[in-house]
Amino acid sequence: MDPTTVIVISCFVGMLILLAMKVPVGFGMMIVGTVGFALLRSPEIALLIIPRIIFEQTANYTLVILPLFMVTGALVMKADVAPAAFNFAQRCVGHLRGGVAMATVVTCAMFGACTGSSLATSLTIGRLTIPEMKRYGYSDALSCGTIAAAGTLGMLIPPSGMMVIYAFLTEQSIIKLFMAGLVPGLLSALIYVVGIYIYALINPGKAGELAKRFNWNDRLIAMRGTWGIFSLFVIVIGGIYSGFFTVTEAAGAGTVFAFGLMMLRGNRWANIQASFLDGARTTAVLFFLLIGAFVFSLFIAMSGIAQDLSQFIVSWPLGPTATLIVILLLYIPLGMVIDGVSMLLLTLPIVLPTVIGLGYDPIWFGIILIKMCELANITPPIGLHVFVIKGIAPPGTQVVEIFKGVGIFVILDVITIALLVAFPQIVLWLPNTFH
């Protein structure tokens, strides 16, 4: 075994040890990447080159998108627009079997399109809808499982922080990724809704009572309360798709609109200040992860292991489709032990060259990978969203019960991923048509 291979294997083992010691992923990747780079070259070169490259990368103008979207999401959270969105969704589908859970999914999709954050979506909508589902007699497993899964839609429906991270690390077009994620995000929400309906028909005792049926006039009246969410979505996504805004300009316009929305709703300055602080904290965490991921990627690129592994996998006699399926299947056990963001950052330097070598579009694969990250956030035993929802679940609700509730959504996610793999145009149609 050559010295480079020994260094790479040793660094990966060290990374696993750091993760087992609960060292933050970004910090762990930075340590391993720096040490690996120093071993491959020299400590002096590592100390000279790595800080300079980190500065150059984090000074990238396009990264201003992240704090702007994070602040926008924080402002929307405190603008108290979620109740109006849920009221509208419930009036549309609440009368169906499982309708309140279906309305929760629709609300998460609308809210995720404004915040770009899955955790923010889960917490905000969960505090609103879990008590409502409890009131209608839904089981704790179904109610908590629904919000845990539906909250992940914020990763896929643009604007998405995960897409910005993927675009930055892979040097892909953010606009194309935002376009590519819209149809799969809406498809995923639709599959959730249909899945809940079928589940509720089979298990009516767990889906509670039917909500009141409203006429179209009542629904239109309720729709007026959602003008803030729809306007923000049109400004940001419509502005990007039409070419009126660049992504950075759209992010800035979204922040200004969200600020104005809070002012119109009479929010006190303390709430506005708290929104900016929340956005700043989230941005700091993401930037730390990005820095760690970039240093780790630099080490992997320097070692040449990614190219060697890519050539080895491409040479398998399985064919591109079967090889891709094997790669995606490996993400399932990986997602059981680490969260989605960490999974993306750790694997991307190795997996992406392989996927490109197989002939697949990196934009398409980015959407598939983000969907795999969604799946990782609800799979046991480290389903991040499950533990987040545990904090707002009804008293006495066990984590095991919530994991039982997300089981149906794991199956639905697998169906969605299978459709996206089998029919790539679901992802690529919009960016290929309009960009």
Q: Band of the pLDDT at 415, cuts 50, 70, 90?
A: very high
**22 has pLDDT over 80:** no
**174 has pLDDT over 80:** yes
Quick one: pLDDT at residue 197?
Answer: 93
Give the Cα separation of 182 and 431 in Å (integer): 10
150-167 mean pLDDT: 84
pLDDT in tens, 343-373: 787 788 888 888 888 889 999 999 999 998 8
pLDDT in tens, 184-238: 999 999 999 999 999 999 988 888 788 788 888 888 888 887 888 888 888 888 8
Give the Cα separation of 40 and 222 in Å (integer): 62
Quick one: pLDDT at residue 306?
Answer: 66
More confident residue, 100 or 207: 100
Q: What percent of the chain has pLDDT over 90?
A: 13
Of 195, 209, 220, 188, which Cα lies nearest the Cα of 96? 209
More confident residue, 254 or 77: 254
**133 has pLDDT over 70:** yes
Quick one: pLDDT at residue 232?
Answer: 85
Of 126, 128, 102, which Cα lies nearest the Cα of 200? 102
pLDDT in tens, 57-75: 777 777 788 888 888 877 8
Average pLDDT, the chain: 83
**44 has pLDDT over 70:** yes
**435 has pLDDT over 70:** no
Quick one: pLDDT at residue 192?
Answer: 95
322-338 mean pLDDT: 80
- Weakest-pLDDT range from 146-150, 300-304, 321-325: 300-304
Q: Band of the pLDDT at 114, cuts 50, 70, 90?
A: confident
5-20 mean pLDDT: 81
Each domain of the chain, given as residue ranges in start order, spans 3-434
96-103 mean pLDDT: 90
Residue 233 CB coordination number (10 Å):
18
Q: Band of the pLDDT at 390, cuts 50, 70, 90?
A: confident
pLDDT in tens, 78-91: 777 778 888 888 88
323-331 mean pLDDT: 84
Quick one: pLDDT at residue 316?
Answer: 74
pLDDT in tens, 380-389: 777 777 877 8
The pair of structure tokens assigned to 31 is 């340590």
Q: Band of the pLDDT at 48, cuts 50, 70, 90?
A: confident
pLDDT in tens, 257-272: 888 888 877 667 777 7
| pTM listed for this prediction | 0.84
Quick one: pLDDT at residue 191?
Answer: 95
- Weakest-pLDDT range from 22-31, 32-41, 200-209: 22-31
